[in-house]
Structure 1
Amino acid sequence: MKILGHRGLPVLYKENTLQSLLAPFSFGADGIETDVRLTKDGVPVLIHDETLTNFCGAGVRVGDLTLAELKEYKSNGETIPTLEEFLKLAPKNRCLNIEVKEYEAGELSVLICKTFYEGEIIFSSFNHRLINELKERYSGLKFGYLFDEQHISMSDEEILALFDKNTYSAHLPVIGLLYFPERLVNIIKELKKREIKIVLWTVNSKNDIARITEYVDYVITDDVRIFL
């Protein structure tokens, strides 16, 4: 089971900053998960939220700022890094889970990762159409579908059908084990039969996955120290 820092190590540092994203590696983590959006001038940057409210208290949208303008906003001296900046600093031959937040950021993120990083990269998104398109276009890369409450209405058959071709992983919320334990476990077992990797987020206690540890391939956690 590989341990990935959720947006880095947010229990110690501001999430998605270089300080946070690089910290898990010093504790021996296998990698990190981070989010990608585009600036107004089309540069992929690493931030989860659509606005800067949680980052520095500014209610401005990331997509309304050029990169130069975005870099003027800071949190404890840290700015929001570009995808390229992070890739150039990240240790090689580790695992990066790149979550694409916006459709427009998809292909550019893939191309930048291919250019600047040597190691395992998994591209995931809640936008299943985007993943469908990318996995057809880049058959040699790893792609995964993210699921949350917006997908509850999907039938098990519809979920499993997504994994019929060239799909590496399923990214499932660990909280689903609390609300839909039987259904989620059954889906996980079926996916494992199809040799799909199981990624659980956000796991902040070993007890959260005690009953299904044998099926879990990747854990995304706010505090990698719990598992290391």
Structure 2
Amino acid sequence: MLRSAKLCAVLLGVLLGSSLLAEGWAGEAPLFVAHRGQSGTAPENTIQAFEEAVAGGARAIETDVRITADGVPILLHDKDVSRVTTGQGNVDNLTLKQIAELQLRRGALQIPDARIPSFADFIQFLSKHPSVQAYVEIKGYRNQRDIDLILSDIGQCSSCNLRLSSFRLGDLAYVRKRNKTIPLDYIVSKINDSEAMVEQMASLGGDTSILAYYKELLANGDTVARLRRAGIKVGAWTVPDRSIADELVAMGVSPIIADKPLAP
């Protein structure tokens, strides 16, 4: 019975998004982030996907936010709705009402009762799970002031544990002007430890880090080490398997953003 209980605990701990048990790693267990929620079993970036991730033990989840034609933040990765819905068109050309009416699908399979949620829906979900950390990437918007709409929704939840990220450093600088405390992550495809990069990260102030493509980190271990010595935290996206996660963790990389479970 005890052995069975321990096995269940281990299995629970290795579900995507959870912090893997420290005994499975050489050092401190990294933070694993469920990319777009539990997207392997539920439609990506939906409340269902986040609920399944948290039910499976997730401590952190990731999502993407865009702005509709009528100025409402919603959760969607792509600029165009056609990959994940039965509809057509770009988010910034569609109203919230039009987007709410779209039927989600995976390939040719339609998913009944699944809809694209608003960012306000996501904030409400987080308010019920204050221990869950959310990584939110700022995707497309009509103009930079639309970021204020995202910040306004965030301001409705004092208990939400949330970080904002972007590939555009200017987005993060704008967020920092509007909010001095929210944690920020700079997403990069190529990583460097130049003096300019270190100064740019320092200029943001507060809790900041770099999130880089995992292959880029593996190919530039010395750069990662120098960034960490400069006091800059480095995380990885989107890590495909446990062996690669092991390499990254040994380099001091955390969080690890992943699409699927990475069992010890």
| TM-score when normalising by structure 1 | 0.88
Structure 2 distance, partners of 1:22, 1:127, is 29
Q: Secondary structure at the match of 2:155?
A: helix
Counterpart mapping for 1:18-37 below 5 A: 18-37=47-66
2:94 is aligned to 65
1:33-82 Cα offsets, whole Å, 9 max, x none, are 10000111100000000111111243311111111111110111211000
Q: Supply the distance in 2 between the matched residues of 1:45 and 1:114 (Cα, whole angstroms).
A: 16
Q: Rg larger in 1 or in 2?
A: 2
TM-score w.r.t. structure 2 length?
Answer: 0.76
The AA in structure 1 aligned to 2:153 is I
The CA deviation at 1:158 is 3.2
What aligned pairs does 1:49-128 form with structure 2 within 5 A after superposition?
Answer: 49-75=78-104, 76=111, 77-90=113-126, 91-103=129-141, 104=144, 105-116=146-157, 118-128=159-169
Secondary structure of the structure 2 residue equivalent to 1:12: coil
- Aligned pairs for 1:1-228 within 5 A: 1-75=30-104, 76=111, 77-90=113-126, 91-103=129-141, 104=144, 105-116=146-157, 118-148=159-189, 151=190, 156-165=194-203, 166=205, 168-177=208-217, 181-182=219-220, 185-214=221-250, 215-223=252-260, 225-227=261-263
Shift in alpha-carbon separation, 1:44–1:227, aligned structure 2, 3 A: farther
RMSD (CA atoms): 2.0
Would you say the 8 A contact 2:136–2:164 is kept in 1? yes
5+ residue gaps, structure 2: 1-29, 105-110
The answer on whether the counterparts of 1:87 and 1:117 sit within 8 Å (CA) in structure 2 is no
After TM superposition, give the deviation of residue 156 of structure 1 in Å: 3.0
Query: Sequence identity, in percent?
Result: 25
Give the number of equivalent residue pairs: 220
For residues 212 and 155 of structure 1, the distance between their equivalents in structure 2, rounded to whole angstroms, comes to: 17
- Aligned partner letter, 1:69: Q
Deviation track 1:111-144 (CA, whole Å, cap 9, x = no partner) reads: 3113225232111001111112212332211111
Letter in 2 for 1:60: G
| Distance in 2 separating the partners of 1:108 and 1:7 | 21
- Asked if 2 retains the 8 angstrom alpha-carbon contact of 1:17 and 1:79, the reply is yes
Q: Give structure 1 stretches of 5+ with no counterpart.
A: none
- Checking the alignment, whether the CA contact within 8 Å between 1:201 and 1:221 is kept in structure 2 is yes
